[in-house]
Chains A and B, each alone.
Chain A
């Protein structure tokens, strides 16, 4: 499991509590590092650095699958909506691997870039688009929950079944600002003129050249809303994320 760096202690404590009474061992791998290499040339660059049989094993990977190589694991996954790898390797070798990637022409990028990329890709950020007060069903993540087989119980199943039976009241949608401006976290979303929802993640999309956001709104919200931006209501179109994939606009 690769868990959120901001909630590590809390998550580990919770997992340990759940594991009590089961024959489960939890091993924290803080001896490992994770380096994400993303973009249209990312895989090629990583193959160059890995070389030999390891690069062949990586090259054979389908999206969302993982190969365990000698002392490292390479997953064709990421948080950017681009092709590429997340490479898990011993922390002691991370600096060396990073330097080899630099030498192969890979440019480092920071969290600002990561945030606009993941938002363009319609990917949730924990603490913003989802937290302990909302369920996956209200966060655009129903597809990640395996309700089948029906006889399989899991932690939270009862709560989710109840919510489904009562009707899920809210949904997470994408917004594209039609007027010019910037969308920001916590701005109020108005439906039919009344405050009804909130932006969970807002920013300016470098690829689209306009402001985009994820927002939690009533489940029956239609195709347009207004967002209160510094006291004025601006028009926004409701879209189904992702906004961008592999650098191309989808909306």
Chain B
């Protein structure tokens, strides 16, 4: 059973999003995604300050099995990146919703957050995957 924190939002491409107090969104990949990938050995991070459109591939997470793109959930600007992942990519496996966060984005339109999938909808999405 995958861990899907209730307070987060999600995408169909298995990113999770957390709304921070300052309005930025922290983004990572879900427990379901890290489990499918296996041991993560390399993460390619975006640049701080980089602009992104919703749906752009901004990061890459690689395991022995596969390379997986990570997409920007909203249009905006990359506000921060988790540089610890450079030397310790396995943080994504160990703590996907905490220490394994990948980047933070400052949304151009704060309302874009409201349109994101909630935990129950994500749960349903991955149950369909498992059938």
Residues of A within 8 A of B (CB): 112, 116, 180-182, 184, 203-204, 230
Contact = CB atoms under 8 A, between A and B. Distances in A.
B59 interface: no
Contacts of B41: 182, 204
- Main SS class of interface, B: strand
A181 B42 contact: yes
Give chain B's interface residue range (CB within 8 Å of chain A): 10 to 19
A248 to B, nearest CB: 20
A208 to B, nearest CB: 11
B51 interface: no
A182 B65 CA distance: 10
Nearest to A229: B67
Contacts of B62: 181-182
12 contacts: A112-B38, A112-B65, A180-B42, A181-B42, A182-B41, A182-B42, A182-B63, A182-B64, A182-B67, A204-B41, A204-B42, A204-B64
B37 to A, nearest CB: 11
Interface centre among A116, A180, A203, A230 (most CB of B within 10 A): A180
B60 interface: yes
Nearest to A202: B64
Contacts of A204: 41-42, 64
A230 B67 contact: yes
A112 B60 CA distance: 22
B90 to A, nearest CB: 11
A203 B42 CA distance: 12
Nearest to A184: B67
Interface string B70-87: 000000000000000010
Nearest to A181: B42
Contacts of A180: 42, 86
Interface centre among A116, A204, A230 (most CB of B within 10 A): A204
A181 B65 CA distance: 13
Contacts of B60: 230
Interface string B36-51: 0010011010000000
B32 to A, nearest CB: 19
A180 B64 CA distance: 13
Given A180-B42, A182-B41, A182-B42, A116 B67 contact: no
